[in-house]
Chain A
Amino acid sequence: MVKVFILFFRRMRAPLLVLISAYSISIAGMVLIPGMTPEGEPWRFDFFHAFYFVSFMASTIGFGEIPYPFTGAQRIWTLISIYLTVISWLYAIGTILSLIQDPTFRRAVAEWRFIRSVRRIGAPFYIVGGYGETGRLLVGELCRRGIRAVVVERNPSAIQDLELENLSYEVPHVLGDASESHTLLEAGIRLSNCVGVLALTSDDQSNLKIAIAAKLLRKKLKVVCVARSSDTMANMASFNTDHIINPFYLFADHMARALHAPRSHIIYQWLVQPGGQPLTEPRTPPRGTWLLCGYGRFGKAMARYLRYEGVSTVVIEPFPDAAGAPEGTIIGRGTEAVTLREAGIYEAAGVIAGTDDDANNLSIVMTARDMTSKRTRPEGSSFVDEDDNSPAAEGVNAQHQNDSGPESGEPNRNGADDHERPKESLYLIARENRHDNHLLFEASGVDMVMQSSRMIVWHILSLITTPLLDRFLRQARHRSEQWASDLAIRIRATCGEITPDTWAVTVVRETAPALVDAIDADHEVTLDTLGRHPRDRGKILPSIPLMLVRQGEESLLPADHQALEIGDEVLFCGHPRAEDLMRWATLNSHALDYLRGAGNGPQSSIGRWIAALRRTSAARTDAPHSGRD
C-alpha cells in the first residue's frame, strides 16, 4: 500500500504544483482587481468569495458572475484564469489516467492486492511456487478438496491462465520469483496459517532455492519439492526438506513394484488416484529383457530400478559416452527399425520410450509395435489377442476422463495370465514430456504412459490430504500378494467400478466432537457403527477401514468390531459419497446416537435437564428393586 501511495504522489507532484499555482494566481488576481456593485460603488472580492468563484470556474461548472456582474478588468482576468486552471486540470487528470495504465504502478497495485488477499485467507493454505502443468493440476485438485493455495509464478502468461481458470476458491497469485525471500514473505510464509511450501517449477535450481528460502524463513514449515536430478535431491535432503519428489524415481519405483508385486501395485494405483475415476486393472508388465530408449535422467532411473528387480535391459542411446551409458549400449535413437532390431526387439519383453522428445517417443512406440506385429502376423495368433488387450491398455492412459468403466473392468485376469500371453504382445511404455501431447499418447494405445506432472500431483495430494495413506501404502508393501489380491476384490465389491476416495477420521474433539462425547460417556463405538448409513442403520456405507493407528501403532485392515478410543486415527477408503455420510456421524451426536441404536435422546439443554431429573427420581423409586444400572 505504501508503495502505491509513494508512486502515486511522486508522479502527481508536478500536476499538483501546477494546480496549486494556477488556483493561487487566479484567486489572488480576483481579490486584487476591483469590481463594482450595481449601485456604482467600488467593491472587491474577498478570499472566500474568490475561492468560491475560482472553484466553479476552474471545473467549468460556471454559476455566472457572482455576486455582481463583472467589470471589464474582472472579465479579462476571468478569461486568463479559465485557460490557466482548465489546462492545469486537464494536465492533472491526464497524468492520473496515464499513471493508472503505467505498468509499474499496476504492478505495485497488483502486489498490494495480492498481499491483502493472502492476509484475508484465514484458513490454512499452501504456497505453490510455479504454475506450470504440475502447478495447474495441483491447484485445481487442492481447490476441489477445499484446501486454499497461493500461487507465485514467474511467467506472465501462466498467471493469465490462472486468472481465466474457473476455480471454486479465490487463489491469490503474484508475478514473481518464489525463490526470492521478499516474494515468499508477501505470499505469507510467516503467517501462522501457512502450512507448507510446494516448489513445483520445471527448473531444479529454482526449486532448490525455494526450498532453501522457505526453510530459512520458517524452520518448521513443511516443504515439498520436485527435483529431477539426483544431486539436487541430495542437496535438498541435506537441509531437511520434508518431501523430495523425483518423478523419474517415482515412476521407476511404480514400474518395479508392478513387476515385483502386481496386485499390491494395483492397490497402490487405485488408492493414490483421486476418487471417482474408472477402476482399471492395468496389464502386468512381463519379466524378460527390456529395451530402454534414451539414457537420460529417466532412463538411468529406470535402468537402476529394473536392475534391482533383476530384469535385464538393453540401452539405446545416440550419445552413449556423454550420457554415461553402460557397456553394450546400442548407438541410435530407437526411432529406426535398424536400431531396434540390433537391440533385439524380437526377443524383448517390452520397450520403454524414455527420451525427452515426445515425437521421438511416439515414433519409437509405433515403430516397435509395427515391427513386432509384422513378425507375428503370418503366424496368425496375434489378432485376437491384440483386440482382447486393447481396452485394458487404453484404460491406463485414460484414467481421468474415459467413461469406459464397465468395459475395461470386465477382463478380470491375474498376473499368471500375463506370463502365458504370447511374446508378440510387446509391453510398451512411453514418457510424455508435454501434456499437450496427451491425446496422441492416448491414441497410440501404449500400455503405460509416464506423465510426470500427474504423478507428482497425486503423490503430493496423498502427502498433504491423507498422510496416513502414505503410511498405509508403505506397510502394505510388505504384505503378500494374496493379501493384496483379497483387498483388491474387497475394494471392487465395495466401490463398484470407480476408484475409491481415501479419508482419515481422527478421534479428537476438533474433528470428531460427537465421537469423543460418545466415548467419554463410556458408550462403545465400533468401526461397524461408523460404517453404517446415518439415515438407515440397516444399510452399510460403501467403505473399508484400511488402517487404525493407536498410539503410533498401525494395524492394517482392523476388524469391524474394533472399538474406537480417543486419539485413534482411522484411514478409510470407499465410495466418494461415503465420506460425507461418515463425517456426519462423527460431527453430529444425534446421528451417532441413532447409529449406536441409542434412540432419540433429549436434544435441548432443558430437555436434558428434565431427563436427568426423571432419571434421579426413577432411581430413587427403583432403589429398593435395585435391578437397574
Chain B
Amino acid sequence: MNFEKVAFGFFILLALTLNFGFFLGDVDNPDHHDVFELFAAIVVNLIATVLKFGDRTHMGAVLLATSLVADLQLIAAAAVWAVAVQVSDAGTDPATIASVVSLSGGALLANIASVTLLIVETVTLRR
C-alpha cells in the first residue's frame, strides 16, 4: 500500500462528497446550504488540485483539468455569496443561493468526472 495513493484518493473523494453535501437540498433554500460546507469543499478541492500537480501522464493532465474546473466553479460560488452579502444588500435571498448552488452543481460534475477517471485508472491497473 502506498500512502501517497491513499492521500490522493482520499482528497479527491472528499472533494466530491463535500461538494455533493453542499449541493444537496432545495436549490433556493438558504437553510439547506451551509456556508461551512462550501468553505470545506473549496479547501479540499484546492488540496486535491495541488496533489495532482506534476503528473506528466495524459491521465494526470485530465485529472488536473477537472480539478481546476471544480476550483473555478466553487470559488465563483463563494465570490457570488460574498458579493451578495457584503457588497449588495441582497443577503442570502433565494436568488443568490440558487446561483451559488447551481455553480457548485457544476463543480460537482467536474468532481464526478475526476472520481470516475480515478476509478477507471485504478481498475485498469492490475496490481
Instruction: Identify the A interface with B (CB < 8 A).
Output: 6-7, 9-10, 12-13, 16-17, 20-21, 24, 27-28, 31, 46-48
A20 touches B50 (CB 8 A): yes
Give chain B's interface secondary structure class.
helix
Instruction: Give bound CA distance, A27 to B82, whole Å.
Output: 15
The reply on B51 being an interface residue by CB < 8 A is yes
Residues of B within 8 A of A13 (CB): 50-51, 53-54
Q: Which 4 A-B pairs have the closest CB atoms?
A: A10-B54, A9-B53, A24-B43, A48-B82
Supplied contacts A10-B54, A27-B39, A48-B85, 17 more A-B pairs, CB within 8 Å: A6-B54, A7-B54, A12-B53, A13-B50, A13-B53, A13-B54, A17-B47, A17-B50, A17-B51, A20-B43, A20-B50, A28-B36, A31-B36, A46-B35, A46-B85, A47-B78, A47-B82
Residues of A within 8 A of B86 (CB): 48
Instruction: Give bound CA distance, A28 to B44, whole Å.
Output: 13
Given the interface pairs A20-B43, A24-B43, the reply to whether A47 lies near B35 with Cβ below 8 Å is yes
Residues of B within 8 A of A46 (CB): 35, 85
Q: Which residue of A lies closest to B56 (CB)?
A: A6
The reply on B107 being an interface residue by CB < 8 A is no
Instruction: Identify the B interface with A (CB < 8 A).
Output: 35-36, 39, 43, 46-47, 50-51, 53-54, 56, 78, 82, 85-86
Q: Which residue of B lies closest to A3 (CB)?
A: B56
Residues of A within 8 A of B54 (CB): 6-7, 9-10, 13
Residues of B within 8 A of A17 (CB): 47, 50-51
B47 touches A20 (CB 8 A): yes
Which residue from B35, B46, B85 sits with its C-beta under 8 Å from A20? B46
Min C-beta distance of B29 to chain A, whole Å: 19
Instruction: Give bound CA distance, A174 to B39, whole Å.
Output: 47
Residues of B within 8 A of A7 (CB): 54
Q: Offer 27 A-B interface pairs, CB within 8 angstroms, sorted by A.
A: A6-B54, A6-B56, A7-B54, A9-B53, A9-B54, A10-B54, A12-B53, A13-B51, A13-B53, A13-B54, A16-B50, A16-B53, A17-B50, A17-B51, A20-B47, A20-B50, A21-B47, A27-B39, A28-B36, A28-B39, A31-B39, A46-B85, A47-B39, A47-B78, A47-B82, A48-B82, A48-B86
Give chain A's interface secondary structure class.
helix
Residues of B within 8 A of A47 (CB): 35, 39, 78, 82
Instruction: Give bound CA distance, A21 to B50, whole Å.
Output: 12
Min C-beta distance of B62 to chain A, whole Å: 15
Instruction: Give bound CA distance, A7 to B85, whole Å.
Output: 40
Min C-beta distance of B34 to chain A, whole Å: 11
Most buried by B among A7, A13, A48: A48
Min C-beta distance of A372 to chain B, whole Å: 71
Instruction: Give bound CA distance, A47 to B92, whole Å.
Output: 14
Q: Which residue of A lies closest to B86 (CB)?
A: A48
Residues of B within 8 A of A28 (CB): 36, 39
Instruction: Give bound CA distance, A13 to B39, whole Å.
Output: 21
Given the interface pairs A47-B35, A48-B85, the reply to whether A10 lies near B53 with Cβ below 8 Å is yes
Min C-beta distance of B20 to chain A, whole Å: 19
Min C-beta distance of B5 to chain A, whole Å: 15
Q: Which residue of B lies closest to A20 (CB)?
A: B46
Q: Which residue of A lies closest to B39 (CB)?
A: A47
Q: Which residue of A lies closest to B47 (CB)?
A: A20
Q: Which residue of B lies closest to A16 (CB)?
A: B50
Min C-beta distance of A551 to chain B, whole Å: 56
Instruction: Give bound CA distance, A195 to B45, whole Å.
Output: 51
Q: Which residue of A lies closest to B35 (CB)?
A: A47
Q: Which residue of B lies closest to A11 (CB)?
A: B54
Residues of B within 8 A of A31 (CB): 36, 39
Residues of A within 8 A of B39 (CB): 24, 27-28, 31, 47
Instruction: Give bound CA distance, A21 to B53, whole Å.
Output: 17
Min C-beta distance of A41 to chain B, whole Å: 19
Q: Which residue of B lies closest to A28 (CB)?
A: B39
Residues of A within 8 A of B53 (CB): 9-10, 12-13, 16
Instruction: Give bound CA distance, A370 to B85, whole Å.
Output: 102
Q: Which residue of B lies closest to A23 (CB)?
A: B43
Residues of A within 8 A of B47 (CB): 17, 20-21
Most buried by A among B39, B56, B86: B39
Instruction: Give bound CA distance, A257 to B47, whole Å.
Output: 77
Min C-beta distance of A12 to chain B, whole Å: 7
Instruction: Give bound CA distance, A93 to B77, whole Å.
Output: 30
Residues of B within 8 A of A10 (CB): 53-54
Min C-beta distance of A52 to chain B, whole Å: 9
Instruction: Give bound CA distance, A24 to B44, whole Å.
Output: 9
Min C-beta distance of A262 to chain B, whole Å: 65
Min C-beta distance of B51 to chain A, whole Å: 7
Residues of A within 8 A of B82 (CB): 47-48
Q: Which residue of A lies closest to B46 (CB)?
A: A20
